[in-house]
């Protein structure tokens, strides 16, 4: 008796083939089938499977219902039957069925990554809270360094709270997806990664100003800003995917999604932009961000001194008349 392992969706099931000539395993929506599929685009009696012991192929598939096309490894099956090997994937309707034999080699065991370490760490809630506090403090510091007047701490705190809410809602969405897909939330891990990427965005967000200042090109600075956003968003999506799913190459998938998302936004901005502008484009960067100008005089005293100097010049001009 030969065993056949079928992967339908994300589940694996083992079936035993028996008999010599007659088909021994049937797939379809009818309740008389050996494997019942609820896909409405699959026929009542869609597939009939038999083994091929003395052939270079492993199984013979008869396609009983030709209402919708059937694909073998992405190619349309034009005949009413097809021979397949272990590892082949058959698509009927909206259902993917992959065929395996018992001796089919499975992938090597993956090693735990940093995401697994964080998920299994006993202090993971405290680590996530610590990263949120670091993010909030860094936001306050960056806002303070960028202000040129007496700081309004309530306004500066509002920016920090905005970053915290963004991290929380992002982590909550991915936690819900993790709960639906894997039965666990991973909220602390998602909060940690969201805080890390937002912190990097806060630090590297002014990189475009440096490029604009060095090359006197606002376009170069804008391109660098978009590149930083694409990389950090792709990194964050890749980290989230590595927790929520068991898929491989999550960082590459994250970068692809990020590039498509940012590319769509950029295209929309470009298409809605005026075709012609008579205003020349010049670099307006006086100094890069996050470089405080050291001076013993406050900005209010500096302006007051200038006002006093202009008053003296005005008085001298009146005296000359």
pLDDT, tens only, 305-315: 888 888 888 88
Measured in degrees and rounded to the nearest 5, phi and psi for residue 97 equal -125, 120
> For residue 127, how many other CB atoms are within 10 A of its CB?
17
Question: What percent of the chain clears pLDDT 90, i.e. is strictly above it?
Answer: 12
Structure tokens at 205: 């967000």
46 is written with which tokens?
A: 């869609």
Per-residue pLDDT band for 217 (boundaries 50, 70, 90) equals confident
The stretch 59-67 carries a mean pLDDT of: 88
Q: What is the pLDDT of residue 22?
A: 47
When mean pLDDT is compared over 147-151, 257-261, 316-320, the highest value belongs to: 257-261
Does residue 65 surpass a pLDDT of 60? Answer: yes
| pLDDT at res. 280 | 62
Inter-CA distances, 103 with 86, 127, 230, Å: 9, 44, 43
- How do residues 268-295 score in pLDDT, each as one tens digit? 887 877 666 666 666 655 555 555 556 6
77 near 63, Cβ under 8 Å?
yes
Question: Percent of the chain having pLDDT more than 70?
Answer: 85
The answer to whether residue 194 scores a pLDDT higher than 60 is yes
- Residue range(s) of every CATH 2.60.200.20 domain in the chain: 2-101
Place of tokens 């500066």: 156
**pLDDT of amino acid 111:** 66
- Residue 92 β-bridge partners: 70, 95
Q: Identify which has the larger pLDDT, 206 or 192.
A: 192
Least confident of 217-221, 229-233, 316-320: 316-320
Residue 232 token pair: 């950090």
Burial class of residue 314, CB neighbours in 10 A (0-12, 13-18, 19+): exposed
Residue 52's closest CA among 83, 77, 82, 24? 83
2-101 adopts what CATH topology?
Tumour Suppressor Smad4 (2.60.200)
pLDDT at 23 over 90: no
Lowest mean pLDDT among 27-36, 121-130, 135-144, 171-180: 121-130
Inform me whether the pLDDT recorded for 1 exceeds 50.
Answer: no
Other C-beta atoms within 10 Å of 247: how many?
Answer: 9
pLDDT band at 155 (very low <50, low <70, confident <90, very high): confident
pLDDT band at 260 (very low <50, low <70, confident <90, very high): very high
Q: What does the pLDDT read at residue 230?
A: 92
Better-predicted residue by pLDDT, 18 or 258: 258
Q: What is the mean pLDDT of the chain?
A: 82
Query: Does the pLDDT value for residue 224 go beyond 80?
Result: yes
Please name which of 215, 196, 214 lies closest in space to residue 204, comparing C-alpha atoms. Answer: 196
Query: Residue 169 pLDDT > 90, yes or no?
Result: yes
The Cα–Cα gap between 188 and 129 comes to 8
CA 33 from chain centre, in angstroms, equals 40
Confidence of residue 113 (pLDDT cuts 50, 70, 90): low
Burial class (CB in 10 A: 0-12, 13-18, 19+), 194: buried
Residue 104 has pLDDT above 90, yes or no: no
Mean pLDDT of 225-250: 87
Model-level pTM greater than 0.75? Answer: no
Distance of alpha carbon 51 from the chain centroid: 42
Q: Tell me: pLDDT of 262 over 80.
A: yes
Q: Which two tokens stand for residue 30?
A: 């009818």
**3-state DSSP: the chain helix, strand, coil percent, rounded to 5?**
50, 15, 35
Beta strands 35-36; 47-51: pairing state: unpaired
């Amino acid at each position: 008796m030969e065993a056949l392992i079928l992967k339908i969706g994300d589940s694996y099931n083992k079936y035993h083939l028996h008999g010599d000539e007659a088909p021994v395993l049937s797939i379809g929506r009818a309740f008389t089938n050996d494997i019942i599929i609820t896909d409405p685009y699959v026929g009542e009696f869609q597939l009939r499977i038999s083994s091929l012991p003395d052939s270079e192929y492993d199984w013979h598939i008869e396609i009983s219902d030709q209402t919708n096309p059937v694909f073998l490894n992405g190619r349309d099956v034009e005949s009413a039957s097809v021979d397949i090997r272990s590892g082949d994937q058959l698509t009927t309707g909206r259902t993917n069925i992959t065929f395996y034999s018992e001796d089919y080699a499975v992938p090597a065991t993956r090693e735990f990554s940093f995401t697994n370490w964080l998920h299994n760490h006993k202090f993971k809630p405290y680590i996530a809270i610590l990263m949120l506090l670091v993010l909030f403090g860094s936001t306050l510091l960056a806002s303070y360094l960028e202000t040129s007047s007496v700081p309004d701490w309530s306004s500066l705190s509002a920016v920090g709270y905005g970053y915290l809410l963004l991290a929380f809602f992002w982590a909550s969405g991915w936690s819900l997806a993790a709960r639906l897909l894997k039965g666990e939330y991973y909220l602390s891990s998602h909060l940690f990664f969201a805080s890390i990427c937002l912190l990097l965005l806060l630090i590297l967000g002014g990189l475009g100003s440096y490029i604009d200042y060095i090359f006197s090109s606002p376009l170069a600075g804008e391109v660098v800003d978009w590149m930083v956003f694409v990389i950090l968003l792709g990194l964050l999506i890749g980290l989230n995917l590595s927790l929520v799913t068991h898929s491989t190459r999550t960082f590459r998938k994250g970068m692809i999604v990020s590039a498509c998302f940012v590319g769509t936004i950029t295209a929309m901005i470009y298409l809605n932009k005026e075709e012609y502008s008579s205003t020349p484009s010049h670099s307006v960067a006086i100094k890069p961000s996050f470089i405080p100008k050291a001076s013993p005089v406050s900005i209010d005293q500096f302006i007051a001194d200038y006002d006093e100097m202009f008053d003296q010049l005005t008085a001298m001009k009146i005296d000359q008349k």
